[in-house]
Amino acid sequence: MANSLAVINCSQVVTLAGAKRARTGGDLRQLSIIEDGAMLVRGDRIEAVGRRREIEALIDGECDVVDAGQRAVLPGFIDAHTHPVFAGNRANEFEQRTAGATYREIAARGGGIRATVRATRNASLTDLVKVGKRYADWFLRCGTTTVEAKSGYGLTLEDELKILRAIRQLDQQTSLNYVPTFLGAHDLPSEYQSRRQMYVDLVVNEMLPRVAEEKLAAYCDVFCEENVFTTDEAWQILSAARCHGLGLRVHADQLSLSGGAKLAAELNAATADHLEHTDATGIAALKAANVQPVLLPGSVYALGSNRYPAAREMIDAGLAVVLATDFNPGSSPTPSMTMILSLACTQMKMTPAETITAATINAAYSLGRGDEIGSLEKGKRADFVIHDVSDYRELPYWFGIEHPWWVYVAGKLAYNRV
Ligand code: NIG
Ligand code: FE
């Protein structure tokens, strides 16, 4: 069989095979594990997954054989909320927070998102692709094979287009897969401080049409928050985005109960993200509208807060929970999905199995790609990771260390630890 690859001698193949939909309730714990399993890949697709003996019977002389050495094999992580294109970093603000300053205080004095906007406006497309490649490597090393990638550090037409073009180039030039999201309403730029509606009009009338025309984004997002964009402003932007054919995601109820979750429900958004302050009414609204919550415990941790989103209540309410890093230079400077799984277990009391589902198949469905990625099943793209552990529960258990041994994207080796 030409151009084929067999992965054998796996302690576990964690397939996530199951119903063709995002998983809720008890299904979040069903990982469909094959002990002593193996997998056959042809070209960029999964051809078969099964017991070692079944797969070995399909191997012929032309097939490359990869011995996993009794390690666990999982689908590549899908990180459904990241901000991976920006210049500089904000280690200075991290230090200020250790001295007691809050994220909002730092933003109010011109730091925060606006500091990264200044640096990113000064960077060229080439500069952004160069630093973006460094972060792409980080994601792959952490076992992530697809990221949702937001713009939002430009806040002018040209600078937002520059970031989205950088995302497109990163998708083409690295092994990591990117799903682009336009976040022109990430913050009100300082030059529009006293002209809020003019900025909203700029996003609606100039940025969105160009982004749609050049097919630079699959989704549109808005940071809906006190002192950022109101629910009314977010509504104007998101409903215009929908008319352009974009899917919707919302930064909702992160720092206060600002109504973002309810808005996401009203607009039938794909996701409502953050939700640290969402109450029972908001959870019920998300359920009624079938919106997926994307929980980002890395930002709670890195901001030194202890107000984590109510994951258990959301799971009990029947929501198809997703976990993501929120990788960005301000509130969550980590590309590590296993760090997020660990936080979800210890701080939000999700089980290890639930966290794996939330970071793979549920994340895939939240990006409209559940039929392509997120599980190890015949016909899906061969995005998988051999982790240097024998049991999937070790992934969130050993923390502060990355486990990927070999990472494959579309059947090709994308990262090799040894
Ligand atoms: O998801 N909340 C808004 N956006 C990011 C933070 C971006 C930044 O601080 O640079 C977030 O936490
Ligand atoms: Fe974010």
Instruction: Give the span between the Cα atoms of 348 and 353, in whole angstroms.
Output: 13
pLDDT at position 112: 97
Sheet holding 271-274, edge to edge: 77-82, 144-150, 177-185, 219-224, 247-252, 271-274, 292-295, 322-323
pLDDT at position 418: 80
- Does the CB atom of residue 112 touch ligand 1 within 6 A? yes
* 49 half-sphere exposure, CB direction, 13 A CA radius: 25
What b/e string do you get for 207-246 counting C-beta neighbours within 10 Å, with b at 16 or more? bbeebbeeebbbbbbbbbbeebbbbebbbbbbebbeeeeb
23: how many CB neighbours lie within 10 A of its CB?
22
- Does the CB atom of residue 31 touch ligand 1 within 6 A? no
pLDDT at position 310: 98
- Does the CB atom of residue 330 touch ligand 1 within 6 A? yes
Instruction: For residue 152, give the ligand nearest its CA.
Output: 1
Residues 6+ apart with CB under 8 A from 227: 104, 108
Atom 6 of ligand 1, nearest CA residue: 331
Ligand 1 mutation target, pool 96, 181, 186, 308, most atoms within 8 A of CB: 186
Atom 9 of ligand 1, nearest CA residue: 330
Instruction: For residue 103, give the ligand nearest its CA.
Output: 1
Q: Which atom in ligand 1 lies closest to the alpha carbon of residue 326? A: 1
pLDDT at position 1: 58
Backbone angles phi, psi at 254, to 5 degrees: -75, -50
DSSP characters for 233-297?
HHHHHHHHHHHTT-EEEEEESSSS--SHHHHHHHTT-SEEEE-TT--HHHHHHHHHHTPEEEE-H
- What distance in angstroms lies between residue 280's CA and the mean position of ligand 2's atoms? 22
DSSP characters for 376-402?
--TTSB--EEEESSSSTTHHHHS-SS-
- What distance in angstroms lies between residue 134's CA and the mean position of ligand 1's atoms? 20
Report the Cα–Cα distance between both ends of the chain, in Å, rounded: 27
| Listed residue (77, 99, 123, 100) closest to 329, CA to CA | 123
- Does the CB atom of residue 113 touch ligand 1 within 6 A? yes
- What distance in angstroms lies between residue 1's CA and the mean position of ligand 1's atoms? 48
Which residue is listed with tokens 């799903």? Answer: 179
What b/e string do you get for 37-48 counting C-beta neighbours within 10 Å, with b at 16 or more? bbbbbbeeebbe
pTM for the full model?
0.98
pLDDT at position 2: 60
Report in angstroms the alpha-carbon separations of 158 from 125, 246, 414.
Answer: 11, 20, 32
Maximum separation of any 2 CA atoms in the chain, in Å:
70
pLDDT at position 141: 98
Ligand 1 mutation target, pool 113, 118, 296, most atoms within 8 A of CB: 113
CA 12 to chain centre: 25
What b/e string do you get for 171-200 counting C-beta neighbours within 10 Å, with b at 16 or more? beebbbbbbbbbbbbbbbbeeeeeeeeebb
Instruction: Give the span between the Cα atoms of 122 and 185, in whole angstroms.
Output: 19
Instruction: For residue 254, give the ligand nearest its CA.
Output: 1
- Does the CB atom of residue 251 touch ligand 1 within 6 A? yes
> Low-confidence residues of the chain, pLDDT below 70?
1-2
- Does the CB atom of residue 254 touch ligand 1 within 6 A? yes
Alpha-carbon dihedral sign for residues 147, 170, 159, 213: negative
Which residue is listed with tokens 């973006």? Answer: 132
Report in angstroms the alpha-carbon separations of 299 from 94, 152, 253, 325, 334.
Answer: 12, 17, 13, 8, 9
Atom 12 of ligand 1, nearest CA residue: 331
